[in-house]
Amino acid sequence: MDTAQLHRGRLIDHIQLIVANLSASRAFYLPLLEVLEIPIGGEADGYFWADELFISSRDSDAALGELTGRHHLAFQAKDRATVDAFHSAGIANGGTDNGKPGERSYHRGYYAAFLLDPDGNNIEAVYHGPANRSARSVVVDF
C-alpha cells in the first residue's frame, strides 16, 4: 500500500455474517470483542451484534436459510499488545491460527494477526502503528 493517510469509518455501514453454529461463533467473537474493547450492542436467540458487525444464525429471519460464505474482516486494534491478546483469545475460544502476530509488508508499522473463525472466515486484528486520528469513532445521533 503506497499511502501516508487512511480513511476509516466511511465505506461500510454494517456487515452481517450468517453462521452455521451461533453458539460457537458467540464463544469465539465475544472474547475477541472484549479484548478490542467493543461492547456487544444486543443479542437474542438468533443473533448478536457489536457496532457494525451483525452475526446471525442460519434460521434467523435475516438469513433466509443461507450462510454468507467466507469473508475477511479486519478489526482495528489500539496497539500491538491488543493484537497479541486478540490472537491468544481467538485460539483459546475455537479459532484457528491463520497468521501469528507480527509485522506485515502492507505498509510501515502494519502489525496484525489472523484467525479463522468457526465458519472459516479470516478474522484479523491490525494496528497500523503510531498515527494521529482525527476522532476515536464516528458518532451518529438520531
pLDDT digits (tens, 9 = 90+) for 75-97: 999 999 999 999 999 999 999 99
Per-position DSSP letters for 51-92, written without gaps between them = TTEEEEETTSTTTTT------EEEEE-SSHHHHHHHHHHHHH
Residue 56: φ, ψ to 5°: -125, 155
Q: Answer whether residue 104 is part of any domain.
A: yes
In a domain, 95, yes or no: yes
- Residue 82 sits in a domain of what CATH number? 3.10.180.10
Is residue 26, in this structure, part of any structural domain at all? yes
Give the pLDDT confidence of 6-57 residue by residue, as tens digits. 666 667 778 999 999 999 999 999 999 999 999 999 999 899 999 899 999 9
To the question of pTM greater than 0.75 for the whole model, the response is: yes
**Is 6 inside any structural domain?**
no
Residue 1 CB partners (closer than 8 Å, separation 6+) = 106, 107
Q: What domain range includes position 102?
A: 14-133
Instruction: Give the position of cell 482525527.
Output: 134
Which residue is it, cell 457496532?
A: 51
Q: How many domains does the chain have?
A: 1
